[in-house]
Amino acid sequence: MALNVVILAAGKGTRMRSDLPKVLHPIAHKSMVEHVIATAKNLGSETINLVYGYGGDKLQAKIQEQALNWVLQAEQLGTGHAVAQANDHITDDDTVLVLYGDVPLIQTSTLESLLTAKPDNGLAILTVYLDNPTGYGRIVRENGNVVGIVEQKDANSEQLAIQEVNTGIMALPGKQLKSWLGQLSSDNAQGEYYLTDVIAMAHRDGVEISTAQPQSAIEVEGANNRVQLAQLERAYQLREAEKLMLAGANLRDPNRIDIRGNVEVGMDVMIDINTVFEGEVKLGNSVTVGAGAIIINSTIADNAVIKPYSIIENAVVGEDASAGPFARLRPGAELKQDAHVGNFVEMKKSVLGKGSKAGHLTYLGDAQIGERVNIGAGTITCNYDGVNKSLTQIDDGAFIGSNSSLVAPVEIGKMATVGAGSVVTSKVEDEQLAVARGKQRNLYGWKRPVKK
Query: Smallest distance, Å, CB 220 to ligand UD1?
Result: 7
Query: Smallest distance, Å, CB 53 to ligand UD1?
Result: 6
Closest CA to 82 of 112, 47, 54, 46: 54
Report the run of H or E that residue 238 belongs to, with start and end: helix 226-246
Query: Smallest distance, Å, CB 117 to ligand UD1?
Result: 18
Positions in the binding site for ligand UD1 (CB under 6 A): 8, 10-11, 51, 73, 76-79, 81-82, 100, 102, 136-137, 149, 151, 165-168, 194-196, 222
Between 21 and 397, CB nearer to ligand UD1 = 21
Nearest residue relative to ligand UD1 (C-beta)? 137
Closest CA to 124 of 95, 93, 153: 95
C-alpha span between 373 and 357 (Å, rounded): 6
Tell me if 2 sits within 8 A of 93, measured CB to CB.
yes
Q: What are phi and psi of 189, to 5 degrees?
A: -60, -30
Between 127 and 237, CB nearer to ligand UD1 = 127
Query: Smallest distance, Å, CB 145 to ligand UD1?
Result: 18
Catalytic residue (one of 25, 81, 89, 360): 360
Between 232 and 394, CB nearer to ligand UD1 = 232
Report the run of H or E that residue 29 belongs to, with start and end: none
Between 130 and 291, CB nearer to ligand UD1 = 130
Closest CA to 6 of 84, 64, 122: 84
181-190 contacts: CB < 8 A, separation 24 or more?
181/80, 181/83, 181/84, 181/87, 182/84, 184/78, 184/80, 184/81, 184/84, 186/77, 186/78, 188/151, 188/153, 188/154, 189/151, 189/153, 189/154, 190/78, 190/151, 190/153, 190/154
Is residue 360 flagged as an active site residue?
yes
Closest CA to 110 of 163, 36, 173, 49: 36
Between 151 and 233, CB nearer to ligand UD1 = 151
Q: What are phi and psi of 16, to 5 degrees?
A: -75, -20
Query: Smallest distance, Å, CB 147 to ligand UD1?
Result: 15
Beta strands in 200-298 (DSSP E): 209-212, 249-251, 257-265, 269-271, 275-283, 288-289, 294-296
Query: Smallest distance, Å, CB 124 to ligand UD1?
Result: 15
Between 223 and 244, CB nearer to ligand UD1 = 223
Q: Give me the active site residues, please.
A: 360
